[in-house]
Amino acid sequence: MLLLLTGCEEQPGAFFRHESINTRIRESHSLLPHYDDLRYADTATLRFAAFSDLHITKENENFFPSFEQDILEKKIDFFVVAGDLTDHGQAREFDTCLTDLMHLGIPWFVTLGNHDMYQKNSWNIWKEYFGPSCYTVVLSGKLRLIFLDTSTGSIGNNQFHWLEQVLKESSETNRIVITHYPLYDDPFPSIYRLPGAEERYKLLSLFHQYDVYAFVSGHLHTFQYKEINGIHHFIVGAMNPHKLDKGEHGYLFFTLKEGGLSWEWIPVP
């Protein structure tokens, strides 16, 4: 667990003193996402990007200038960020991050990462800037995105119950679950995957039962893809130039057309 705290500038023990996951989920369900533009064209094609691990600091170095060009050239409709928007979970970092996200000029959706919870009051700051950490949205009536909070390494009973209800009641053909911790990152256990085996297996069972298209995660700063029982599992990589475990920087690019979803990996310079 000590490795989880590397680089924390303030309140190094705060990670262990947060509200429980069940409390965060209960509070999340009383909030609305803080987004200025939730209008989505009901078109035959949706294009969206997924990435993670911005690790915004006061220096604020990221690949957004390059991504901004891709938004125009690839006609990206919206994007999602799978956690670790900040490096230390500080208010000034959340403020900078929100400004950067808004500057990109298209809708976006985010969820918590472990670095976003590095301060004792990080959850309250997050709620002020971004609202819930666990929620679902439907786009153009055919794509459902489900955001889970795994920022402190567990899912919890409340979130599992909510997730199963959402999956059971949704009629959309295309469903994608997005969170920070991956289920599997390597043949051997590591700090980069969701720790609890029971929770991992339960998620896999729900994905298979309700025909989830993809599970999108971050945390490990690289791109990885594997298919497990017909479900696409992605680790989408880091968009901070100084955070890379292996491979290269980039993002995942999805296209939804009449024939279904497709994806490709887009490297960034």
Q: Choose from 17-21, 168-172, 215-219 the range with maximum mean pLDDT.
A: 215-219
- Residue 12 belongs to some domain of the structure: no
Encoded amino acid at 25, one letter: I
Q: Looking at residue 86, what is its pLDDT? A: 96
pLDDT in tens, 41-62: 567 789 999 999 999 998 888 8
Q: Over range 212-221, report the average pLDDT.
A: 96
Does the pLDDT at position 8 exceed 50?
no
Does the pLDDT at position 6 exceed 60?
no
- Residue 52 belongs to some domain of the structure: yes
Q: Which of 131, 126, 175 is nearest to 152 (CA)?
A: 126
Encoded amino acid at 201, one letter: Y
Q: Over range 116-141, report the average pLDDT.
A: 93
Q: Over range 165-187, report the average pLDDT.
A: 92
Q: Which of 78, 76, 260, 34 is nearest to 178 (CA)?
A: 78
- Residue 2 belongs to some domain of the structure: no
Residue 144 near residue 176, CB atoms below 8 Å: yes
Does the pLDDT at position 204 exceed 50?
yes
**Cβ neighbours around 142 below 10 Å, total:** 17
Q: Over range 184-195, report the average pLDDT.
A: 82
- Residue 11 belongs to some domain of the structure: no
Domain count, the chain: 1
pLDDT in tens, 82-116: 999 999 999 999 999 999 999 999 999 999 999 99
Q: Over range 10-22, report the average pLDDT.
A: 62
Strands 231-236 and 260-267, how do they pair? unpaired
Domain that holds residue 29: 20-38+46-267
- CATH number reported for the structural domain that contains residue 113 in this entry: 3.60.21.10
- Residue 1 belongs to some domain of the structure: no
> How many CA atoms, within 13 angstroms, populate the side-chain half-sphere of residue 112?
29
Strands laid side by side in the 143-147 sheet: 135-139, 143-147, 174-178, 214-217, 231-236, 223-228
Q: Looking at residue 60, what is its pLDDT? A: 84
Q: Phi and psi for 178 in degrees, rounded to 5?
A: -130, 130
- Residue 5 belongs to some domain of the structure: no
- Residue 14 belongs to some domain of the structure: no
- Residue 29 belongs to some domain of the structure: yes
Residue with tokens 């125009």: 72
> Percent of the chain, pLDDT > 70?
90
H helix and E strand count, the chain: 6, 11
Q: Looking at residue 128, what is its pLDDT? A: 93
Q: Which of 82, 84, 94, 85 is nearest to 125 (CA)?
A: 94
Q: Looking at residue 9, what is its pLDDT? A: 42
Strands 46-51 and 174-178, how do they pair? unpaired
> How many CA atoms, within 13 angstroms, populate the side-chain half-sphere of residue 205?
8
Q: Looking at residue 242, what is its pLDDT? A: 84
For residue 131, the SS3 value is coil
